Structures are given as C-alpha cells and as structure tokens.
C-alpha cells in the first residue's frame, strides 16, 4: 500500500471554531500531514488567539471571523476563502456549544441556540462548500458528533438532539453526494479534556475529583479522559485518500465507552 494515501499535501482544510480545543488539535494534525489550514471563530479576539497559537506551532493558518449560524456570512466566507486561499477540499464542522440545563427548565431559546450552532451550522457550512467540491471532483466533510449522538443523559437534551441529528445529516450527505466522490463521515469523541468539559472535571472543595469525573473514569475502559490529540489520527484518516471508500460512518474515538457497561462501583 502507498502510505502517501494518508497525506494531505496540497489540500485546503477549513476547520470551524478552531482557535483552540478539538478543532485546533485537528488543524494541527492536518498541517503536519501537509494541508493548508483555514479556520474561523466567532470574534476577532479568538481568531487572533488562534493565529498566535498556530504560529507558535509553526503553522501559517488563515483565520477569519464568522458566526457559522449565519448563512449569508458563511457563503461570503467561502467566497473569500476561494479567492484568498483556494477551493476547500476538507471541511471539519467542529464549532459547537453545549447548555447543561434540565430539559423542563430549559428555555426554547436556549434549546434553539444549541440546535442552531450544533446542527443548523454544519448544514449551512456543508451546503456552502459542496458545489465547489462537486466541480473539483472530490471532497471530504467531517462532522464532529458525540457520545450524545448515541446516548442521552440528564441536562443535555438540546445537545443530544443536535448531535443525533448531526449523525443523520452525515449519513444523508453521504447518500446524496457520494456519487460526486464526496465522503462525509463523523467523528464521535468520547469525553475529552477541553474547555467545554472543564466544569465536569473541576476539583471539589475537599480536593477530591468531581463526581462526574469519577463517573467517566468508571465508564471508560481506558480509565482516562481523552485528549484532543487522541482525535488527530482518526481525523487525518477521514480527511485523506485512505478513506475514499468510507462514507456515512461515525467513527467513535471514545476509549471504549460505547462498548462498556462500566466498572462495578
């Protein structure tokens, strides 16, 4: 086998919401594999923070301010990327939010906001890049799903609904555009140590681990939280020619959580 199949040399990758966290780690891996990195975030401060972080890693990234829930802004951004950088070969729908509120206490506005960022925005961004991917004759779309694409839990009703929908949007893009050599797959991270999960890992006043932290350790065969870097290899695989016959698949990178009933207390 030609291992160059895993190379991203000459490819342009747009990772949404990638100033830090999982998106940043994926972008870093893509740069190592030879891709040109494009990212956006919700405000200039975050974009500047991201640009500095990429530069520190020796990566000359292209950063843009764009709220991915705004279709007009996304369409404008894609035109700008195509003019200033080139046609997007790889889209990673990474930008996301979560609101941890018991469902019957959650406002419809909060529910809609999570759906907007975590489900509507991946639709908007994919819709914006697919026409040029069709013209180019290839494309890769990777949607960042979640354990909550498969499982529910207290307080995350909006997030689970969004991530479950994102799993099916992934399968539908595969179904509708696979004939144009476009592969759309998902990555379902387990519990990863990023700012988004920091509240679930906070030390208790007595110095003990957060109860949820202990719960996840017991539910994960690897007996640890994931790191954003654990997602890099799977993300490169799904962005590369090595996965050209993998389509509509959600690759769970969860340390085994979905396979495990959990350690007996």
Q: Which of 192, 154, 150 is nearest to 170 (CA)?
A: 150
* Rounded Cα–Cα distance for residues 103 and 120 (Å): 20
Q: Which residues bind ligand GCO (CB under 6 A)?
A: 98, 100, 146-148, 153, 156, 159, 189-191, 196-197, 200
**Is residue 232 within the footprint of ligand NAP (CB under 6 A)?**
no
**Is residue 22 within the footprint of ligand NAP (CB under 6 A)?**
yes
> What does the buried/exposed string (b/e) look like for 9-28 if buried means 16 or more CB atoms within 10 Å of the residue's CB?
eebbbbbbbbbbbbbbbbbb
CA distances from 199 to 99, 162, 174, 209, 212 (A): 12, 21, 35, 12, 9
Binding mask 173-212 for ligand NAP (x = CB under 6 A): ----------------x-xx-xxxx---------------
Find where tokens 């990638």 sit: 18
159 in catalytic set: yes
Q: Which of 105, 110, 122, 113 is nearest to 16 (CA)?
A: 122
Task: CB nearer to ligand NAP: give 194 or 240.
Answer: 194
How many other CB atoms are found less than 10 A from the CB of residue 95? Answer: 26
Closest distance between ligand NAP and the C-beta of residue 264, in Å?
A: 25
Task: CB nearer to ligand GCO: give 140 or 167.
Answer: 167
Of ligand NAP, ligand GCO, none, which one sits near residue 96, judging by CB under 5 to 8 A according to partner kind? Answer: ligand NAP
Task: CB nearer to ligand NAP: give 194 or 243.
Answer: 194
Of ligand NAP, ligand GCO, none, which one sits near residue 53, judging by CB under 5 to 8 A according to partner kind? Answer: none
Q: At what angle do helices 157-177 and 121-136 cross, to 10 degrees?
A: 20
* Rounded Cα–Cα distance for residues 46 and 43 (Å): 6
Task: CB nearer to ligand GCO: give 139 or 189.
Answer: 189
Interaction site with ligand NAP (CB under 6 A): 16-17, 19-23, 40-42, 46, 67-69, 94-97, 117, 144, 146, 189, 191-192, 194-197
């Amino acid at each position: 086998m030609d291992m160059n199949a895993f190379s991203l040399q000459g490819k342009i990758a747009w990772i949404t919401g990638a100033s830090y966290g999982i998106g940043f780690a994926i972008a870093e891996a893509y740069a190592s594999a030879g891709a040109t990195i494009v990212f956006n975030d919700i405000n200039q401060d975050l974009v500047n923070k991201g640009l500095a972080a990429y530069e520190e890693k020796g990566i000359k990234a292209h950063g843009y301010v764009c709220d991915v829930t705004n279709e007009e802004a996304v369409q404008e951004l894609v035109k700008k990327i195509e003019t200033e950088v080139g046609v997007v070969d790889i889209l990673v729908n990474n930008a996301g939010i979560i609101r941890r509120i018991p469902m019957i206490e959650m406002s419809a506005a909060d529910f809609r906001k999570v759906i907007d960022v975590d489900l509507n925005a991946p639709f908007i961004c994919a819709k914006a890049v697919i026409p040029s991917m069709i013209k180019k004759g290839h494309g890769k779309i990777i949607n960042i799903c979640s354990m909550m694409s498969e499982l529910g839990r207290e307080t995350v009703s909006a997030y689970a609904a969004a991530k479950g929908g994102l799993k099916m949007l992934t399968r539908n893009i595969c179904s509708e555009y696979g004939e144009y050599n476009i592969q759309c797959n998902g990555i379902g991270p387990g519990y990863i140590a990023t700012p988004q999960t920091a509240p679930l890992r906070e030390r208790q006043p007595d110095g003990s681990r957060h109860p949820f932290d202990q719960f996840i350790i017991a539910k994960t065969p690897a007996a640890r939280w994931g790191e954003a870097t654990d997602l890099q290899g799977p993300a490169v695989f799904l962005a590369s020619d090595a996965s050209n016959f993998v389509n509509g698949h959600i690759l769970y990178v969860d340390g085994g959580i979905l396979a495990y009933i959990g350690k007996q207390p």
